[in-house]
Amino acid sequence: MIRPAMHAVAAALLLLPTVLSAQLGSYNPEPGPRATVAIVNARIVPVVGAEIARGTLVIADGVIQAVGAGVAVPTGARVIDGSGLSVYPGMMDAGTDMGLTEIGSSGAAATIDNAETGNWNPNAQAIWGINPHSAHIGVTRVVGITHVVSRPGGSILSGQAALINLAGYTAPGMAVVPRVASVIQLPSQGGGRGGGGGRFGGGQTPTPAGGMSPLDSLKQLLADANAYGAAVAAHAEDSSLPRLDTDLVLASLLPVLSGEMPVIFPAESESQIKEAVAFAEEQGLSPIIVGARDAWRMTEYLVEHKVPVLFSNTLSLPSRDDDPYDANFAAAAKLAAAGVRFAITSGEGNPDVRNLPYVAGMAAAFGLSHEDAIKSVTLWPAEIFGVADRLGSLEVGKMANLVVTTGDLLEARTDTRYLFIDGRDVPLGTKHSELYDTFKDRK
């Protein structure tokens, strides 16, 4: 716009990475190999099935091999005495953009990589933007959060979220499901967003031309993708039919349109949620609502439409002046009582995702059962993302993502003694413990 400002942009772009690189180097020690480990004499909370007051859990090859009171310790296993300790499945925050932003507010723009330019980026993949060395990863996992969904934002078709383990030296190495869901920020019926046109049209597909509303443009793009999919399939069956050039944008929408890849819709108000659900039903998509501030006011609707919700507002101030003081603290309890499928997310920026257990604990303080509070951050998010066969509980055959604690999983005073991700022993050092150790004895 203004020339000096452009110079300043250039200067900032040149300067920031250099200035920040020293400061943003983080400390996430690499986990050990997938060993055979037996945790003995521990209280085990498998989440599925009854609590075991004193039992053994065996890990090998990254997988839980045995759980129970009378389980034998395999020969050669490393034995951890779990006396006085508790074993829980690792927690999952399904509402983050972990690894995509380091310092999320203004002042460090070069560390923000969570939103592509333009409106149509269904082929933007979070997994290629995640920084495995983000300092957030270390401090998050040491409270027992072992895996998260990291999703892009911005635009209308924001891109594809990744489900990642919070351990590893490469993003693909962290991936549990590298492309777990697509993200659609539904433009409101009432008007456009983000300049309305997507002039810079991300990817290869230009915005459908000529005064269409963003919502109509979105519908057009999905229709184009359907047609593209049909044409590609037709050619595959009959090679005499014309062969279309590959279109990465449209191709990336095919699993979305088939309903195979779920779609995360950020939506807060009752009307936003209903618009998203109606849109998903019209287009044959599998919706997951994230945010969902007003979900507690529309439980019947959510049950009727079988829409899963990632509730991110437990700690938000009530949004209406005449809402009860505990409207959001008690919201999860209302969802559970009504039979809504939901998971609790921290609702926090990446540095504070580590508060997830206390957020679920707050929901439990206001009516959610203790058991459901734990499920809302372990089993239920895994179910919503279709990975409950691998994650979310301590069951034989599941990925060994688990935490050994000094007490109740959701209590703020509880500490972590051991942490396993993908069956690998994760060191408990973090950027924070490093700084603590460096300065605590300074005289």
**CA 436 to CA 443: how far, in whole Å?**
14
Q: Scan residues 126-165 and list those touching other proteins (CB under 8 A).
A: 135-136
Instruction: With contacts defined by CB under 8 A, name the span among 169-177, 272-280, 320-328, 333-341 that binds other proteins.
Output: 320-328
Q: Which CB sits closer to other proteins, 40 or 108?
A: 108
Size of site (CB under 8 A) for other proteins: 57
Query: Residue 125: what are its φ and ψ, rounded to 5°?
Result: -115, 120
Q: Which CB sits closer to other proteins, 102 or 422?
A: 102
Q: Which CB sits closer to other proteins, 285 or 353?
A: 353
In the list 70, 211, 322, 397, the residue contacting other proteins (rule: CB under 8 A) is 322
Min CB(253)–other proteins separation in Å: 30
Min CB(366)–other proteins separation in Å: 7
Q: Judging by DSSP bridges, how do beta strands 157-165 and 145-150 pair with one another? A: antiparallel
Q: Scan residues 400-439 and list those touching other proteins (CB under 8 A).
A: 410-415, 431-433, 435-436, 439
Binding mask 340-379 for other proteins (x = CB under 8 A): ---------xxxx-xx-xx--xx-xxx---x---------
Min CB(346)–other proteins separation in Å: 12
Min CB(37)–other proteins separation in Å: 24
In the list 1, 22, 50, 209, the residue contacting other proteins (rule: CB under 8 A) is 1
**CA 168 to CA 29: how far, in whole Å?**
9
**CA 25 to CA 431: how far, in whole Å?**
9
CA angle 297, 385, 343 (to 5 degrees): 35
Q: Facing residues of 343 across strands?
A: 310
Q: Which CB sits closer to other proteins, 257 or 426?
A: 426
Binding mask 183-202 for other proteins (x = CB under 8 A): --------------------
Q: Which CB sits closer to other proteins, 5 or 209?
A: 5
Residue 8, number of CB atoms within 10 A of its CB: 11
Q: Which CB sits closer to other proteins, 229 or 349?
A: 349
Q: Which CB sits closer to other proteins, 247 or 358?
A: 358
In the list 3, 239, 397, 442, the residue contacting other proteins (rule: CB under 8 A) is 442
Q: Judging by DSSP bridges, how do beta strands 175-184 and 263-267 pair with one another? A: parallel
Q: Which CB sits closer to other proteins, 210 or 442?
A: 442
In the list 50, 76, 325, 397, the residue contacting other proteins (rule: CB under 8 A) is 325
Binding mask 11-30 for other proteins (x = CB under 8 A): -x-------x--xx------
In the list 224, 270, 326, 383, the residue contacting other proteins (rule: CB under 8 A) is 326
Q: Which CB sits closer to other proteins, 119 or 430?
A: 430
247 binds other proteins (CB under 8 A): no
Q: Which CB sits closer to other proteins, 19 or 223?
A: 19
What is the residue whose two structure tokens read 């979105």?
218
In the list 72, 79, 109, 396, the residue contacting other proteins (rule: CB under 8 A) is 109
Which H, E and C letters describe the chain, residue by residue? CCHHHHHHHHHHHHHHHHHHHHHHCCCCCCCCCECCEEEEEEEECCCCCCCEEEEEEEEECCEEEEEECCCCCCCCCEEEECCCCEEEECEEEEEECECCECCCCCCCHHHECCECCCCECCCCEHHHCCCCCCHHHHHHHCCCEEEEEECCECCCEEEEEEEEECCCCCHHHHEEEEEEEEEECCCCCCCCCCCCCCCCCCCCCCCCCCCCCHHHHHHHHHHHHHHHHHHHHHHHHCCCCCCCCCCHHHHHHHHHHCCCCCEEEEECCHHHHHHHHHHHHHHCCCEEEEECCCHHHCHHHHHHCCCCEEECCCCCCCCCCCCCCCCCCCHHHHHHHHCCCEEECCCCCHHHHHHHHHHHHHHHHCCCCHHHHHHCCCHHHHHHCCCCCCCCCCCCCCECCEEEECCCCCCCCCCEEEEEECCEECCCCCHHHHHHHHHCCCC
In the list 107, 190, 210, 211, the residue contacting other proteins (rule: CB under 8 A) is 107
Min CB(1)–other proteins separation in Å: 5
Q: Which CB sits closer to other proteins, 262 or 357?
A: 357
User: What does the binding site for other proteins look like in residue numbers (CB under 8 A)?
Assistant: 1, 5, 8-9, 12, 20, 23-24, 102-109, 135-136, 315-318, 321-322, 324-326, 329, 349-352, 354-355, 357-358, 361-362, 364-366, 370, 410-415, 431-433, 435-436, 439-440, 442-443
